[in-house]
Amino acid sequence: MSTVTLIDRMRAASARRGGVRVTLALARWLAMLAITFTGLLAITFFIGRKIPIDPVLAILGDRASASAYAAARLRLGLDKPLIDQFFIYARDVLHGNLGISLLTANPVIDDIRRVFPATLELATLSTFIGIAIGVPLGVAAAVKHNRLVDHIARVIGLAGSSVPVFWLALMGLLLFYARLHWVSGPGRIDPVFDGMVDTRTGSLLVDSLLAGEWDVFQNAFSHIALPAGVLAFYSIAYLSRMTRSFMLEQLSQEYVTTARAKGLPERRVIWRHAFGNIAVPLLTVIALAYSYLLEGSVLTEIVFAWPGIGSYLTGALLNADMNAVLGSTLVIGATFIALNLLTDALYRVFDPRAR
C-alpha cells in the first residue's frame, strides 16, 4: 500500500469520526432541547391547574347552570385524569394551539404574534444601547481601576441592582415627558400614525424606515426612547459590571505584562489581547441580559402602556384568562430556553476549548 493511499484512508477515517462527533453533539443538543421544553410544558401546565381559578366558571360565569357547567367541563377535557389532560395540552401546544383568550376572544397564539414584536423591539433596542455604553464603560473602569471612571461604573452598577424599575420609569415620565417634553407619552405610537405603515418585520422603527415614512419613524422613536432608556440603564449596569470584572482578571495576567514589556501600544494590549479573551464569555452575558429584558419588561410595559407581551400577560392575569397566561408564560420560557441554547452553541463555536 502506497503512502498516498494510506494518508487518504486516514483522512477519510478522521472525517468520518468528525461527522460522528458532530452528529452526536447535535443529537445531545436536540435531546436537551426536548427535555427542557417538556419540563417547561409540565411546570406551566401543573401550575395552571393548581391556581384556584375554575376555567369553566371563567368562561361561563358564576350563574351558569349545573348542566352547562358539566357540558363545558366535558368539552374542555377536565373530567379526564390529570396526566391525560397534560398529554392533550402538550399535543395542542405542539400543533400551535394555545387555546382561546377569554379577554379578546381570539386564539392566544394570534394575540401573542400581535404583541410579542413590540416586546422584541423594546428589548432589542435596550440591549443595543446597553452594549454600546456598558461594555466600553466596563473596559474603561477596569483600565482606570479605582479612579473616577471606575467609581462612576460602580455607582451605576449599584443603582442598577437596587433601584426598582417601576420607580425609575415613573420618574422618567415625570421628568422627560411631563416637565421637559423631550419624548412622547405612553403607548407605542400616536393614534394619527397608527396603520400608516405595513407590518413587515414587526418593528415599527424598521418598518417605517423601509417604507420611507420619516414622520412615523420619528413618532415611534419618541415613544420608544424613554422605555428603552429605562431598560437600557439596567442593561448598562449589568454589562459594565461583568465587563469590568472580566477585564480586571485579564489585565492581571502575565501575558498582558509581557505585551506591555514588548512595547505594544496600550490600545492594542487592551482591546486586542485582554478584550479578545473576554469576548466569548461576554457573549454569554449579553445573551442572558437580552433574555432577562425579554421576560422582565412587564413593569416597564405597564408603566408606559407599551402593547407588548408583558401588558398582555398582566391583563390576562387580572381577568383570570388562564389560556392567555399559560400561553404567554410558555412563549417567554421557550424564548429564554432558545436564547440560552443558542448562546451555548455560539460559545462552542467561538471557543474551541469548550468543545
pTM: 0.82
Is the pLDDT at 263 greater than 60, yes or no? yes
C-alpha to C-alpha distances, 22 to 15, 26, 338, nearest whole angstrom: 10, 6, 20
> What pLDDT band is residue 3 in, cutting at 50, 70 and 90?
low
Average pLDDT for 157-172: 90
Q: Which residue has the higher pLDDT, 308 or 80?
A: 308
* pLDDT given at position 323: 82
Q: What is the pLDDT, as a whole number, of residue 12? A: 62
CA atoms within 13 A of residue 65's CA, in its CB half-sphere: 3
- What is the residue extent of each domain of the chain? 108-354
User: What pLDDT, on the 0 to 100 scale, is given for residue 6?
Assistant: 55
Q: 3-class DSSP state for residue 297?
A: coil
Q: What is the mean pLDDT of residues 146-175?
A: 91
Alpha-carbon torsion (267, 268, 272, 275), positive or negative: negative
What average pLDDT does this structure show over 210-221? 90
Give the CATH number of domain 108-354; options: 3.40.190.10, 1.10.3720.10, 3.40.47.10, 3.90.950.10: 1.10.3720.10
pLDDT surpassing 90 at residue 23: no
pLDDT single digits (tens) 45-96: 887 777 767 777 766 767 777 777 788 777 777 777 878 888 888 888 888 8
State residue 246's pLDDT score: 92
Comparing 257 with 242, the larger pLDDT belongs to 242
Cα within 13 Å of Cα(316), Cβ side: 28
pLDDT: which is higher, 9 or 55: 55
Average pLDDT of span 300-307: 90
Q: Is 315:330 a contact under the CB 8 Å cutoff?
A: no
Predicted local confidence at residue 241, as pLDDT: 93
Reported confidence tier of residue 28, pLDDT bands at 50, 70, 90? confident
Q: What confidence category does residue 8 fall into, taking pLDDT thresholds of 50, 70 and 90?
A: low
pLDDT grade, residue 7 (50/70/90)?
Answer: low
Cβ-proximal residues to 327 (8 Å cutoff; 6+ apart), any chain: 98, 99, 108, 109, 111, 112
- From 15-19, 81-85, 325-329, the region with the lowest mean pLDDT: 15-19
pLDDT on residue 16: 62
Number of H helices, E strands in the chain: 15, 0
**Confidence band (pLDDT; 50, 70, 90) for 293?**
confident
